[in-house]
Amino acid sequence: MTQREIITYWLEKAAQDLVSARENLSAGRLQNSVRDAYFACFHSFSAVLIRAGKTFRKHSEVRSILHRDYVRGKKLAVEWGKHYDWLFDNRQKADYRPLVNFDLEQVKDILEKSEGFVLEMRSLTSGE
């Protein structure tokens, strides 16, 4: 596989995650929507890392690179780093802590921001 094919794969996966997040939101499955929004951002940023020739093994490593190289490096706005952090922390809560609940309006907002994040990552992978 070429680098471009791998990038395309991750971006398509992010798009699928957003569709799933919207479907889960519509069905009232807020925890699943948060998880899917996280994975949309994770997959789209993974495409950015592939384009930059960076490798990673853990989700925490991806988060660290996002902050170290992209937010502090002024390639991404601080708001995207904060958004990713919220998703990272709350996806863990949704998956591993019992009785975690999210507010419908909060999840709608997070999903909108996640869609913006994915668009920003698409821009970074195309070199714009």
**pLDDT per residue over 95-123, tens digit each?**
777 778 899 999 999 999 999 999 999 99
**pLDDT per residue over 53-70, tens digit each?**
998 899 999 999 999 999
The pLDDT, as a whole number, for residue 128 is: 45
CA atoms within 13 A on the CB side of 99: 0
* Chain centroid, CA 68 distance in Å: 17
The pLDDT, as a whole number, for residue 9 is: 97
Q: Kindly report which listed range (18-22, 55-59, 72-76, 102-106) carries the lowest average pLDDT score.
A: 55-59
**Sequence-distant (≥ 6) Cβ neighbours of residue 38 within 8 angstroms:** 87, 88, 90, 91, 114
* Pure H helices in the chain: 3-26, 30-51, 59-65, 78-96, 104-126
- Report how far residue 2's alpha carbon sits from residue 90's, in angstroms, rounded to the nearest whole number: 34
Residue 127 has pLDDT above 70, yes or no: no
- Report how far residue 9's alpha carbon sits from residue 25's, in angstroms, rounded to the nearest whole number: 24
Nearest Cα to Cα of residue 41 among 94, 97, 83, 4: 83
Average pLDDT over all residues of the chain: 94
**pLDDT per residue over 27-51, tens digit each?**
999 999 999 999 999 999 999 999 9
